[in-house]
Structure 1
Amino acid sequence: MNSFDTIKLGARPQGRWALAGRWIVADTPAGRHLVRDGEVVIEDDRVVHVGQPFNGDLSSRYDMGNALISPGFVDLDALSDFDTTLLAFDNWPSEEKGRVWPRTYVERGPYEMYSHEELAFQKRFAFAQLLQNGITSAAPIASLFYREWGETVAEFDAAAAAAQDLGLRVWLGPAYRSGGMVVESDGRMVAEFDETRGLQGLEAAIEFAGKWQGHDLISPLLAPDRVETCTTKLLQRTMQAAGDLGCMVRLHMAQGMMELNASLALHGKTTPQWLDGLGLLNDYLLAPHATIATDEDLRRYADRGVSVVHCPLVSARHGGMLRSFRKLRNMGIRIAMGTDTAPPDMVLNMAVGMMMCRMADGDITACKSGDFFDAATKGGAEALGRNDIGVLREGGKADIAVFDLSDTAMAPSIDPIQTLILGASGRVTRATIVDGRLAMRNGEVAGLNMVSARKQAQDQFDGLIAKYPERTAGHPPVSEIFPPTYPLMAGPRSARSSS
């Protein structure tokens, strides 16, 4: 056996090589199985064997010990910035905490609160965090609250470069919108639109998509922002362009009361009802989060082949709940998974999802560990129209996550999938391999020093927080927008800590 630590981070081992482990997740024509004391054999970017120890010639063999070797996770709502929703955890309502622009900020002129270099860095850092959590395929998402308007082609060219440098498979496209909600001085929230600007954003996104079609690690995605920020014309042209390009569309909808109230005021319907009436629900639509979807909305999803991207951790943090995973599955709706928050911990996400499902139905039999593991792997791949990722089988892409089952916090161990989810932490991810390349090992990521990057990320985030008063109704100081959990004790160390 060779030492796994001898593989150069960021490289593919030469020749045909094997990973051995206590447990292997194997996808076969007869379904998904667990293999005890098995091996995965890799050559270039492909898996050539999954199962019992391989008898053929190998250039090297690496024993991962008491580990689970599985398909990498597919995250279809993967955070690609520093998560500002963390600031909303204990601070609400959103219109008083800088998450809805006040009229005064709109009149002075919204502006980019990060430089181009900072935008590029935060995507690189976020992509590295995905790899640290066993996520091998991702459709990134970011907030537009701190943007001048939408995302730009330049920053997504930088995102594509970061994905290639770090070794992450991504579906990319700059987010665009026609408008957004504005808080008036009397506290009313109104929707305002600039359709021309939205259509310009779509054209830039189409240009980006055309440039990256046919790439191995980079695939195009059209990403209109949340549905309440889009006009009919923008969404119609988006779906037409997606059909022409043959790419997916991700659109956040049925996710919150602000969206519902805006849709009822503008269209007299829920957003899924509105889109279905326009003929815009289809099988290339990815729709996070469905937490306020009605039964009629869900039937429309099922009839039109819409994939729901379930993000239980971020929903639960904000008091939301999918009602329910079992109901959607029984209706025949395809369910993929998204993390959509920091940390992008898919293991914790699955654990919260299982608890959410059982609580929504009041029934422990509503779901099992395998249901969520499948959604986080095969479900995401199927939503993207892929059968070579999210699986571990001969001929599939060598996109693999290795989880350490010897962690002392995960004892005693039972079935490996159940043990992983009960342990509820992606921090036991020992290695992440994408396209046959070792992208992450023991927390270290190819192409980025995570220790220094963590400090840079915090400094950049602190700089953003300092600007919050400019885009918060009434322009109160940061200490009032985000007060500490307990009053700070007077003294030289009473200043806000960023540790």
Structure 2
Amino acid sequence: MNRPLRIGLKASCVVGFDGRQHVLWRDGEVVFEGARILFVGRGFPGEVDQWIDHGNALIGPGFIDLDALGDLDSTVLTLDNGDERRMGRMWSEEYLATGPRESYSFDEEVFKYRYAFTQLIRNGITTAMPITSMYYREWAETYDEFAAVAGVAAELGLRAYLGPCYMSGMSYLCADGSLAQHWDEARGLTGLDAAERFFRNFDGAHDGLIRGALLPDRIQTCTPALLQHTAALSRELDAPVRLHCCQSPGEYALVQQLRGHSPLGWLQQLDLLGPRSLLPHGIYTSGDDDLRRLVDGGASLVHCPVVFARDGEALNSFGRYRALGINLGLGTDTWPADLLDNMRQGLNIARLMEGNAEQTSALDMYNAATLGGAQALGRDDLGRLAPGAKADITVFDLGGLHLGPLFDPLKNLLLAGRGDDCIASYIDGRCVMQHGQVQGVDYRALQQQAQQQFHTLMRSHSDRAFGQPDWRGLFKPAIPFADAYSAAAPLCAASTPQD
């Protein structure tokens, strides 16, 4: 039986792992055979079928995005647009009464993942646990949809933790501006059944590239019964559970009102603060009592600094959480799918919140995007370049003028780098991107289809807003239009249909 090709990569800098921490090799080499790394260092003594010299570049482990945008992101529509509850992003009482409906067709739902997964790979992300918005859904995600999504991830070569999102409720906006809750317990449990079926059928599919996960929507949209069943199923299947919590004052107050506990206190009651629990975002807590619950349970927080900073919110503080022993991973959660940007902004935000530069370092952020993400998933074969680890490898070009003169490649990338400085990516030993081109993807056609589909999403805002106003009037540009069309015109007349 023929062995797999043995590939060797060279670059001016290589991030290896010495068993305890990342270490930097100058003029380093990485050799892998099939899906596994054989060697990291300098002067590999064995035979290599093909050497690839990337020159002035940083070879490192692929990034792990635990709240990876799997959508055509709608937050660009909410930026500086006033109260987003009135713009048709949230369900209105009218919309709920007439019956929620899908904004996209089945094929469009699957396409949004193809678009997003391409963006993730393009930005150096090799392992993703996707997230999408339920506001645009008739209810939640489906088994059939995710069977197709698993195929898309495998085709592109992305390592993905997948499962249909499920929920037992949804907040909606009343005419007087207050929020209320709509519950459908049976539908939530049916969604969990679909998630279990997906896990049993797809966990380990495509040679292990696809793994299953239990992905309930948000803590305030899940009933006690749904989360109790989720906790039990997680134990039975040894499945990771990701549950968004502690992300707004409104959520915190609602959980206290409904459940009599802080969000983390309630999850502790439900046995959902264990090592298999991944919790975006951990910002609003009761304080030390809640943080101690995280430490004692071993749950991981998924930090998404950029999306919250846009609304003036931040974790307080990354360094303190880490010093307490809380494992932190990173997520993008919004466009762009750039973890380098999240590391840079996360570092700056942490230092502003902490009032010093001592508690959080650049390496802390890099570790969260690699080793922290791997720990959250229970994987000691991801997030590092070491013999025996998976050959999930990225190559970042260090020759860009915007990076400035180099001293430490990681510091330069965190200070000035971009996700699209990633020029090559290998996942499970397969080259999925070379010279910045994701294999098999026509970027121009992909972007054109995304633009057309985004128009569909924009139009759907009218359905959810009170009185079904013209969708064109729901959004305003940063700079007012100078012509007579004003805000009633499509935002991108060259590429957005008029009807």
Asked whether the 8 Å contact 2:472–2:490 carries over to 1, the reply is no
Aligned to 1:6: none
Of 217, 232, 251, the match for 2:209? 217
Of 479, 488, 497, the match for 2:492? 497
The runs of 5 or more residues in structure 1 that have no matched partner are: 1-12
- Mapped partners of 1:492, 1:245: distance in 2: 56
Aligned to 2:419: 426
The offset of 1:30, in angstroms, is: 4.8
Secondary structure of the corresponding residue to residue 364 of structure 1: coil
Q: What's the TM-score once normalised by structure 2's chain length?
A: 0.95
Count of residue pairs brought into register by the alignment: 487
- Mapped partners of 1:332, 1:474: distance in 2: 50
Secondary structure of the corresponding residue to residue 358 of structure 2: helix
Aligned to 1:482: 475
Of 158, 181, 185, the match for 2:148? 158
Secondary structure of the corresponding residue to residue 384 of structure 2: coil
Aligned 1:16-165 pairs, distance under 5 A: 16-165=6-155
Larger mean Cα displacement after TM superposition, 174-183 or 266-275: 266-275
The offset of 1:480, in angstroms, is: 3.2
Q: What's the TM-score once normalised by structure 1's chain length?
A: 0.95
The offset of 1:258, in angstroms, is: 2.6
Asked whether the 8 Å contact 1:133–1:426 carries over to 2, the reply is yes
Aligned to 2:168: 178
Secondary structure of the corresponding residue to residue 365 of structure 1: coil
Larger mean Cα displacement after TM superposition, 65-74 or 21-30: 21-30
- Mapped partners of 1:243, 1:86: distance in 2: 38
Aligned to 2:249: 257
Q: 1:328 corresponds to which letter in structure 2?
A: Y
Asked whether the 8 Å contact 2:263–2:285 carries over to 1, the reply is no
Aligned to 1:359: 352
Q: 1:258 corresponds to which letter in structure 2?
A: G
- Mapped partners of 1:17, 1:159: distance in 2: 30
Aligned to 1:301: 294
Aligned to 1:463: 456
The offset of 1:266, in angstroms, is: 1.4
- Mapped partners of 1:196, 1:86: distance in 2: 34
Aligned to 1:397: 390
Alpha carbons of structure 1 residues 136 and 336: separation in structure 2 relative to 1, 3 Å: same
1:40-94 Cα deviation digits (max 9, x unpaired): 0111111101001323211111110110000000100001111112222212323
The runs of 5 or more residues in structure 2 that have no matched partner are: none
Aligned to 1:267: 259
Alpha carbons of structure 1 residues 97 and 269: separation in structure 2 relative to 1, 3 Å: farther
Q: 1:452 corresponds to which letter in structure 2?
A: A
Of 322, 329, 333, the match for 1:340? 333
Of 223, 226, 229, the match for 1:237? 229
- Mapped partners of 2:253, 2:461: distance in 1: 25
RMSD across aligned positions (CA): 1.5
Q: 2:231 corresponds to which letter in structure 1?
A: M
- Mapped partners of 1:359, 1:474: distance in 2: 43
- Mapped partners of 2:490, 2:77: distance in 1: 18
Give the % identical residues.
Answer: 42
The offset of 1:364, in angstroms, is: 1.2
Asked whether the 8 Å contact 1:323–1:357 carries over to 2, the reply is yes
Secondary structure of the corresponding residue to residue 106 of structure 1: helix
Secondary structure of the corresponding residue to residue 241 of structure 2: strand
Q: 1:149 corresponds to which letter in structure 2?
A: W
1:244-271 Cα deviation digits (max 9, x unpaired): 1111000000001231232132123321
